[in-house]
Chains A and B, each alone.
Chain A
Amino acid sequence: MTTFPIEKIRADFPILNEKIRNKPLIYLDNAATCQKPLVVIDSISNFYKHEYANVHRGVHTLSVKATDRYEGAREKLKTFINASSTKEIIFVKGTTEAINLVAQTFGKTNIKQGDEILITAMEHHSNIVPWQMLCKDTGAILKVAPINLQGELIFDEFEKLISDKTKLVSVVHMSNALGTINPVKKIIAAAKAKNIPVLLDGAQAIPHMSVDVQALDCDFYAFSGHKMYAPTGIGVLYGKQALLEAMPPYQGGGDMIRKVTFEETEYNALPYKFEAGTPSIADVVGLGTAIDYLTEIGMDNIANYEAELLDYATKKAKQIEGLRIIGEAKDKGAILSFVLDKVHPHDIGTMLDSLGIAIRAGHHCAMPVMDFFEVPATARASFAMYNTRQEIDVLMNGIEQLIEVFG
């Protein structure tokens, strides 16, 4: 492996020059959202300056240009996750909307009273609540596969919960609260053996590893742009074409129709059937640029570099007395969730902030995970490709110091 161009990458992110409370920013809240490289920021700005118009509407030159950029981004996404067609790339607001879309369309048509939806105990609220809402509407039942104390899915239990009534398996690819990477290939194989479709919540996985939806053979894959160096307000639902064709539309409005009379409406073809209204055009363009940026660096290079960072951080954290890591799965992404014996996560967050270090303190939208580990909250350092060992040294030193202050 060639060495990772960390200096060059850091220089690509203007915000890393900011001072926070007079200290250089050390941004370790990447699982919540990550920072944007200048190329992405510039591409949005340039798009507004030179190419902006509404898409799919006009014959005028700008509209054609804007549509080209918008559809060009769809093409890039198709390649990035290896979908078989751009028809399978639906632009949505983010992971949350993607999952709600599936619940409200696929769910409402295919899931009935007494049917079961299977998730895991490590899901983000956005992969719990939409299913609870669907269950309430339909009388279906939400089943939850348990995890062990390392924060890993107990696969045998998961398999046992797959039944003739299971109509959908929806699991997180990589957990935001624990870092756990689920054995998604095994999960999908087990579900496929009974012809059950699988949705993967890829919000955390997508910025950290290469994802090939055809190799995975998942039916739906949901992710957000803002966690993969792209703007907020944009995300993707990948769905297998046959499934998407059979699903009713999500919202009604412009763009999603072919023909409207007051008596009847004929829906548009994929992917537009699911894209009602004017989309977040410039953000899609920004997402396209982020994909180019990531592709140039290489997802495997990113994964390798981040694995080294996590390894380093984990070793250092383990040397700190009174620190307990929450989530020690064998297969794990670059997230270090922890608690301290004597210091509440909220205090850890404020203390580290005074050193310029941004971490997350809280339940990470995964309250059931907190309940399982019997903690009210955790502190979480989540890494991105622009973080360094030196930053981890500052973090660990800060933790040691604050333990002393509270001792």
Chain B
Amino acid sequence: MFDDLRDLYQEVIFDHNRNPRNFRVMEDADRQVEGFNPLCGDRLTLFLKMDGDQIVDASFQGSGCAISTASVSLMTEIVKGKTEEQAEALFKQFHEMTTGKEENIDLEAIGKLAVLAGVREYPARVKCATLAWHTLDAALKNEESSISTE
């Protein structure tokens, strides 16, 4: 019945939505930032544990749609062990994948995150996928304790 949506809602997304990874409060986090999408009310808190400029642990709390939950869940998995610079580079790639030109996407660099490429066709849902990454960006830049997609 929902065949048209296969590209958007891939099985991996359902899986992460049902069983989000790293879904916990991190008591000894070095960075903690809240991300908020006022359009839909999605809210998440991202926790990072740093060792120098390396992300050694990432976790999150909050409630959102399947796309935003899967996106943040996947992100916390993939950024573990990355340096700030590597994580920022991934953010750029992710941004390109969801909003940029198709030919600029580096599928190899993006890896598992490619399951979220389907949002390209759903402009109303792009912010659901990018909320996690904007929150990470703010956490790495250590700028604010809360950000909003608007």
Residues of B within 8 A of A370 (CB): 41
Complexed CA–CA distance, A404 and B65 (Å): 16
Are A363's CB and B4's CB within 8 A? no
Residues of A within 8 A of B2 (CB): 351, 354-355, 401-402, 405
Of B42, B124, B125, which one neighbours A376 at CB under 8 angstroms? Answer: B42
Of A344, A362, A376, A401, which one neighbours B66 at CB under 8 angstroms? Answer: A344
**What is the interface size of chain A, counting residues whose CB is below 8 A from a CB of the partner?**
22
Bitwise, A396-407 to B at CB < 8 A (1) or not (0) is: 001001100110
Name 8 interchain pairs, CB-CB below 8 A, sorted by A: A21-B4, A343-B66, A344-B66, A346-B42, A346-B65, A347-B9, A350-B5, A362-B40
Residues of B within 8 A of A362 (CB): 39-41
Residues of B within 8 A of A169 (CB): none
Complexed CA–CA distance, A402 and B69 (Å): 18
Of A345, A346, A355, which one neighbours B67 at CB under 8 angstroms? Answer: A346
Asked if A73 is at the interface of the complex by the 8 Å CB criterion, the answer is: no
Are A376's CB and B41's CB within 8 A? yes
Are A355's CB and B125's CB within 8 A? no
A interface vs B, CB < 8 Å? 21, 343-347, 350-351, 354-355, 361-363, 367, 370, 376-377, 398, 401-402, 405-406
Within 8 A of A (CB), among B42-75: 42-43, 63-69
Q: Tell me, rounded to whole Å, the shortest Cβ–Cβ distance linking B150 to chain A.
A: 13
**What is the interface size of chain B, counting residues whose CB is below 8 A from a CB of the partner?**
24
Complexed CA–CA distance, A367 and B10 (Å): 31
Q: Tell me, rounded to whole Å, the shortest Cβ–Cβ distance linking B41 to chain A.
A: 3
Q: Tell me, rounded to whole Å, the shortest Cβ–Cβ distance linking A356 to chain B.
A: 10
Are B64's CB and A355's CB within 8 A? no
Are A401's CB and B1's CB within 8 A? yes
Bitwise, B1-45 to A at CB < 8 A (1) or not (0) is: 110110011000010010000000000000000000001111100
Complexed CA–CA distance, A343 and B1 (Å): 17
Closest 4 CB pairs of A and B: A376-B41, A344-B65, A346-B65, A377-B41
Residues of A within 8 A of B124 (CB): 350
Q: Which residue in chain B gives the minimum CB-CB distance to A349?
A: B124
Known: A345-B40, A350-B122, A376-B43. 13 other contacts (CB 8 A): A344-B63, A344-B65, A344-B69, A346-B68, A346-B128, A347-B9, A350-B125, A351-B2, A354-B5, A370-B41, A376-B40, A376-B64, A377-B41
Are B41's CB and A354's CB within 8 A? no
Complexed CA–CA distance, A343 and B67 (Å): 11
Are B41's CB and A363's CB within 8 A? yes
Complexed CA–CA distance, A405 and B14 (Å): 9
Q: A346-B67, A361-B40, A377-B41 are in contact. Are A351 and B5 (CB under 8 A)?
A: yes
Q: Which residue in chain A gives the minimum CB-CB distance to B69?
A: A344
Q: Which residue in chain B gives the minimum CB-CB distance to A397?
A: B1
Residues of A within 8 A of B122 (CB): 350
Q: Tell me, rounded to whole Å, the shortest Cβ–Cβ distance linking A320 to chain B.
A: 16
Q: Tell me, rounded to whole Å, the shortest Cβ–Cβ distance linking B138 to chain A.
A: 20
Of B41, B63, B66, which one neighbours A347 at CB under 8 angstroms? Answer: B66
Complexed CA–CA distance, A55 and B25 (Å): 64
